[in-house]
Structure 1
Amino acid sequence: MIALVISSGTNMAFPTIMGKVIDRTAGREDAGSRIPDKVFFAGAFGIFACGSIASWVRTYSIGVAAHRIMQRLRTKLFGRLLEQDVAFFDEHRTGELVSILTEDTEIAADTVTGKAANGMRSASSALNGSIMLLTLSPRLTLVSIALLPLVGVGAMGYSRRLKRLAARQREDAADASTFAEERLSQLRTVRAFGRERAEAQWYRELCDGSTELARRAASARGAFMGGLSASANASLVAVLYFGGSLVARGAMTVGDLASFAMYSSLVGLGFSGLSSFAADLSKGLASAERVFMLMDATPAVPLDEGLTPPLESVRGELVLEGVTFRYPSRDKDVLCGVDLRVPAGAILALTGPSGHGKSTLAALITRLYQPTAGRISLDGVDTATLSPSWLRGAVGVVEQDPVLFAGSVADNIKYGRPGASAADVEAAARAANAHQFILEFPDGYNTKVGQRGRQLSGGQRQRVAIARALLWDPPLLLLDEATSALDAESERLVRDAMEKLMDRENRTLLIIAHRQSTIQKAHTVAVLRDGRIVESGSYADLIARSGGELAALMSGGELAA
């Protein structure tokens, strides 16, 4: 702030110094008050040097402050996004969230630092310049500011129009960002259908919409700046015309008229800067509103609220009583009064037709969603009363399509336990039958897996994901279609790994599968159809039932061998 005041002050002093230089050269300066040339010019250059140093300090300080504010906004916002429940991301597009995280935070930070500083400088130029104009010649000042009301009206209209256009531009940019991110992340699908040119054309059309808005914004900006330039030039011509008559009558010196003209330019630049600041402020406030809207979003399931019993005491008994669930965007229940019991240390296989709620049930167990009705309990404790963070530490999950992060194989295996030793990582990989194929890579456990693990095959990704869950060593493990992406040999290796899981006491295993070879190893099999448990029992008993649900699935080919 001090540097800003000093640099603004030296800018205000410049016209006066230039006027004195002109009068001194023309011999119009009062001899009685004349300062020696050496002292005068030394003082002038000293003021200019102070202004230069202050400008550097101001620019440096604002740049550093803007970066720090942007960094704090981004880290805080990213943390808040990670706290949101899954339903939040069902309702918000990832591309839009990334756009707010990267672009809106930068715009908001720049608005409260660089743009705000420029606004204050412009206000200083307009205010202090007007004071200097009045000091030099009140009559000439009236001539100079005659067009000011017209400029003010134009500035308000320009600011409102630019705010509307900026909001629409941000929406279009978010749409384009979402589209690009989705297509690039699923490039294999795009390429499989030969849709590269069609998708490029679609993206071009999205960008064209934003281009049209940019053209309108540029047109509005050009019209306003052109009008502002014309009014400034007209004002300067009027100042020189009437000021020349005052010089001719001896009411004003040539130096004073030069100073007045320069102060008029500073005032014009000040009001021009304020107009630009008003437009930037509107844009910055819109970005800040989006940022703080996400920061203020309250997750339906707070991460760290609830009970946190010792993990060592968890036995792994899982009970669902009358569990009903409906996605917010749908008008039909996905699960309807589900009753299910998985004893501690047991293996339960959940099967049924695709799209009937099996994966949704797994998401409810880990509290990614809250049941619409009913109760889920772990060792007799309602999971709604448990801390979600603690619960997810007690329940390991291997998803239907496991996601690996860009990094090494070892980094992905120890994602849940970053401090795990190399020996622990290797032990988990061995248990998941992943150690052998990892060693076949030139860099072993340090091999990079690529974005989303694309450098690995589907079976390899599955086994790395199982190793990740094993290293976490949870008392309850959910395998969601854990063998769906595997060939026969890979499935055999995974089945071996699953059998090893039961060597640990108190390990409860819930398997969601469509393969007979997977579910026949379970102690209990439950069939889910239309969101309801329609049949449960041992594999042998269910398969022997004439007209039973499991038998119907097998005879209908809905269960692979």
Structure 2
Amino acid sequence: MITELLRRLLGRPMAALLVLASSFLASILALAAPLFVIQVLNRYVTHGVDATLTTLAGGTLLAILLEQSFRHARLQLLTQRANQRDSQISEGVGGIMAGADSSTLHRIAVEQREAMAQSLESIRQGLSANNLASMADLPFSLLFLLALFLLHPLIGSIVAILFVLVLLVGYLGSIVQQRSQQALTMARMRESRFIRFAGRHLESLRLYGTHQRIMQKWLGFVQESSKLQRRLNSRQGWVTGVQGVVQASQTLLVISVGAAEVVAGNLDVGTLIGANILAARALQPALKINALIGVLNRASEALGQVKNFSRIPGDSQEGATLKQVTGTLELRDLAFAYPGQNVVLFKDLNLQLPAGGVLVVTGSNGSGKTTMARLLAGFITPSNGQILLDGVDLQQLQRQWWWGQLCYLPQEPALMDGTLEENVNPDDADADILAQRVNRSDLNRFVDQSEQGLEMPVRDGGSNLAYGIRRRVSLVRALASLERAQSQAGQGGWAIFDEPTEGLDQAGQRAVLTLLRDLSQQKHTLVICSSDPVLIKGADWVLDLDSKPVPTLHATRVAKPATQEALL
């Protein structure tokens, strides 16, 4: 937190110098108001010279205008710097999400990944330009304390003690509230996830007899959040109460001590009133910062989350690239177990797949078909063994190059909010090429029947589209990847399809099977994760993941030409 504050306040030497100079000059000019009170009560009231009052009032008004000008200029500088840092942090988080090592990223809980957007907003609010300006004023409170010491050392000492006490209360309050704030943040995240689930799956709240159970779960979230909020409010109230006592004590002590000094002849009334104004101005920055403890704690917690997130290693930009691609695939002693689990999903898996071969990975639900697809795609790393592509270990290949060669169709389509065209045209292809892809994926019927066509909005990750339509969108993307790979390497390559016919009608299945046939004819090595009998019938090899812990590999008796026919 301190490091980020210094970066925003002092990150650029010239801007930092201007901020400090503006703060210093604004604080000097802020002395004009209490000095005006002292001079009016001591000189004008005593002598009654109107010219004195006019001169004092004009000079003070000019000082106030200049003070506000310096504060406005400082705020502009801090706004520019805060926006720059917010953009840098946001770009950094976005870069991590886009380029982080997939295996490490998937080990992080979903709610922690989803919390990044909320963390960025907490940082923006906590370290906004206005809050930075309040922090920049704090050191210059010493000017008001110094002025008090010069007016009356005893009153200056009393206010200095109260100033330190306010800072101490704020520091202790920050420590006390921080843990409660962290727990409340996690509880609110669980509430938010539940609300998103309820919004997307209304049927599940009403059917299957789950309404009461879901309501109990929701009430549990609400009660937990309410309990944590009450605890946080109680601690915030304690800090606010102590601050109120200190603030009231400031007026009480200054006036009491000053009145006694006035009676003793050591102080005049004008100086007493001016000293009380100076005391209030000296405590004001510290009280402002204490009022920001909540948002500063949230910003500090968010910065910690971003910092931990930034430790995730990125996908290596180094590694080998193959000048010539044939498409062979070999697995050597491959094994995988999820982190923290003792049971392996599979182990001791060995196979060699020649270029243009068709392997179907089959098994029951939960047997590891999708995990196998993600392993071969390089999104997660095996617990043991090697994946060799054209004789080169996948871990030694440059990831971006490898993904540029791969035609990949995931089981669960992931769409971004925007328009349908933004999702089906990742490489900004021209209209003719895009139309060919849409036709090949059998998405054209849906587009033609929609009033908005490719401009149809995609919301909530595609939840407003039918599952089969989302699968077709993924198929268009796979075609784009295929064309990119062919433009780089020509014939040959790799394709991984995870449950390609799931959720599709007959026309959609035929589009998938046609694409698989075309890939096979172009000597692409196919790995298809599916239990679809049609796909199994068209395979050269079948890998059965239901055989535990060592999967069983079967070579089919179907010759290659028949395999291509079977795919249709």
The alignment's TM-score, normalised by the length of structure 1, stands at 0.85
Q: Where does structure 1 lack aligned partners over 5 or more consecutive residues?
A: 542-561
Q: Secondary structure at the match of 1:377?
A: strand
Partner of 1:119: 135
Distance 1:188 1:381, change over 3 A: farther
Pair 1:162–1:453, CA change in 2 (3 A):
closer
Tell me the equivalent position of 2:402: 391
Q: Is contact 1:357-1:531 (8 Å) kept?
A: no
Q: Name the counterpart of 2:504.
A: 486
- Alignment CA distance shift 1:248-1:202 (3 Å): same
Q: Which moved more, 1:155-164 or 1:391-400?
A: 155-164
Q: Is the 8 A contact 2:122 2:298 kept in 1?
A: no
Give SS of 2:500's match.
Answer: coil
- Cα contact 1:154–1:224 (8 A) shared by 2: yes
State the match for 1:514 in structure 2: 531
Alignment of 1:407 with 2:424, yes or no, is no
Matched, 1:7 2:26: yes
1:230–1:273 CA distance, 2 compared to 1 (3 A): same
- The residue number in structure 1 matching 2:494 is 476
Q: 2:331 aligns with which of 310, 320, 329?
A: 320
Query: Quick one: distance in 2 between partners of 1:89 and 1:102?
Result: 18
Q: Which residue in the other structure is 2:518 paired with?
A: 500
Q: Partners in 1 of 2:505 and 2:163 — Cα distance?
A: 78
Given that 2:411 and 2:499 are in contact with CA atoms closer than 8 Å, whether structure 1 keeps it comes out as yes
Per-residue Cα deviation, 1:101-147 (whole angstroms, up to 9, x for no partner): 3335533773385434313313422x222211111112343455566
In structure 1, the residue matched to 2:377 is 366
* Preserved contact between residue 105 and residue 291 of structure 1 (Cα < 8 Å): no
In structure 2, the residue matched to 1:171 is 186
Aligned 8 A contact 2:243 2:287 in 1:
yes
The change in CA–CA distance for 1:220 and 1:493 in structure 2 (over 3 A counts) is closer
Deviation at 1:449, TM superposition (A): 4.3
Q: Deviations over 1:144-191 (max 9, x none)?
A: 556667656544432321223223223323333344344445455445
Pick from 303, 318, 331: which aligns with 1:305? 318
Distance 1:208 1:510, change over 3 A: same
Aligned to 2:233: 218
Q: 1:189 to 1:532 in 2, by over 3 A?
A: farther
Give the Cα–Cα distance (whole angstroms) in 2 for the partners of residues 104 and 451 of structure 1.
20
1:69 aligns with 2:85: yes
Given that 1:349 and 1:513 are in contact with CA atoms closer than 8 Å, whether structure 2 keeps it comes out as yes
SS of residue paired to 1:225 = helix
Cα displacement (A) at 1:294:
0.7
Asked whether the equivalents of residues 484 and 514 of structure 1 are also in contact (C-alpha less than 8 Å), the reply is no
Q: Aligned equivalents of 1:183 and 1:7: distance in 2? A: 53
Which residue in 2 is equivalent to 1:78? 94
Cα 1:390–1:443 change in 2 (3 A) is: same
* Corresponding residue number in structure 1 for 2:143: 128
Whole-Å Cα distance in 2 between the matches of residues 10 and 199 of structure 1? 61
Displacement of 1:469 in angstroms is 0.6
Residues 208-259 of structure 1: per-residue CA shift (max 9 Å, x gap): 3233333233323323332332333334233323323433454322221111
C-alpha separation in 2, matches of 1:234 and 1:452: 57
The answer to whether 1:432 aligns with 2:441 is yes
Answer whether contact 1:78 1:101 (CA < 8 A) is retained: no
1:278-357 map, 5 Å: 282-299=297-314, 302-310=315-323, 313-357=324-368
* Aligned with residue 537 of structure 1, among 555, 562, 567: 555
Q: One-letter code of the match for 1:259?
A: G
What is the aligned counterpart of 1:18 among 24, 34, 37? 37
- Cα distance, 1:515 vs structure 2: 1.9
* Partner Cα separation in structure 2 for residue 462 and residue 224 of structure 1: 55
Q: Quick one: distance in 2 between partners of 1:161 and 1:28? A: 55
Checking the alignment, whether the CA contact within 8 Å between 1:81 and 1:294 is kept in structure 2 is: no
**Quick check: 1:525–1:536 contact (8 Å CA) kept in 2?**
yes
Do the aligned residues in 2 keep the contact of 1:17 with 1:44 (CA within 8 Å)?
yes
Q: Distance in 1 between matches of 2:163 and 2:430?
A: 72
Q: Is the 8 A contact 2:41 2:270 kept in 1?
A: yes
Moved more, 516-525 or 320-329: 516-525
Q: CA deviation at 1:454?
A: 3.5
Query: Quick check: 2:337–2:383 contact (8 Å CA) kept in 1?
Result: yes
Bigger Cα displacement from structure 2, 140-149 vs 97-106? 140-149
Q: Distance in 2 between matches of 1:410 and 1:285?
A: 40
- Alpha-carbon spacing, 1:94–1:180, altered in 2? closer, same or farther (3 Å): farther
Secondary structure, aligned partner of 1:532: coil
> What is the aligned-residue identity percentage?
21
CA 1:520–1:539 in 2, change beyond 3 Å: closer, same or farther?
farther
**Other-structure match for 1:526:** 543
1:384-421 per-residue CA deviation (whole Å, 9 max, x = no partner) reads 11012211111111122333333333322222xx2211
Distance apart, 1:280 and its partner CA:
5.9
Q: Which runs of 5+ in 2 are unaligned?
A: 1-18, 486-492, 560-568
Q: For residue 552 of structure 1, what is the aligned residue in structure 2?
A: none
Q: Using the alignment, how far apart are the partners of 2:477 and 2:167 within structure 1?
A: 64
1:9 aligned partner, one-letter code: I
- Contact 2:442/2:508 (8 A) holds in 1: no
What is the rounded CA distance, in whole Å, between the counterparts of 2:37 and 2:257 in structure 1? 20
Inter-CA distance 535–52: structure 2 relative to 1 (3 Å threshold): closer
Alpha-carbon distance in 2 for matches of 1:263, 1:502: 84
Cα distance, 1:79 vs structure 2? 1.2
Q: d(CA) in 2 for partners of 1:14 and 1:298?
A: 56
In structure 1, how many angstroms separate the alpha carbons of the residues matched to 2:458 and 2:471? Answer: 13
CA contact (8 A) 2:101 2:312 kept: no
CA contact (8 A) 2:327 2:390 kept: yes
> Structure 1 residues 265-274 or 396-405, which shifts more?
265-274
Q: How far apart, CA to CA, are the structure 1 residues paired with 2:213 and 2:28? A: 58
Cα shift readout 1:269-294 (whole Å, capped 9, x = no counterpart): 34434544677655543332221111
Q: 1:92 aligns with which of 108, 115, 120?
A: 108
Q: Tell whether the 8 Å contact from 2:32 to 2:64 is kept in structure 1 after alignment.
A: no
CA deviation digits over 1:484-539, x for unaligned, max 9?
A: 22344542343234323334x23222222212222222333333322533232125
Residues 524 and 539 in structure 1, CA contact (< 8 A), matched pair in contact too = no
C-alpha contact (below 8 Å) 1:366/1:388 kept by paired residues: no
Asked if residue 229 in structure 1 is aligned to residue 244 in structure 2, the reply is yes
Matches of 2:187 and 2:379, distance apart in 1: 31
CA separation in 1, counterparts of 2:524 and 2:161?
A: 85
Query: Aligned partner of 1:314: which letter?
Result: V
The answer (yes or no) to whether the contact 1:162–1:220 under 8 Å persists in 2 is yes
Change (3 A) 1:208 1:59: farther
Partner of 2:177 in structure 1? Answer: 162
Q: 2:119: which partner in 1? A: 103
Equivalents in 1 of 2:254, 2:440: separation in Å?
Answer: 88
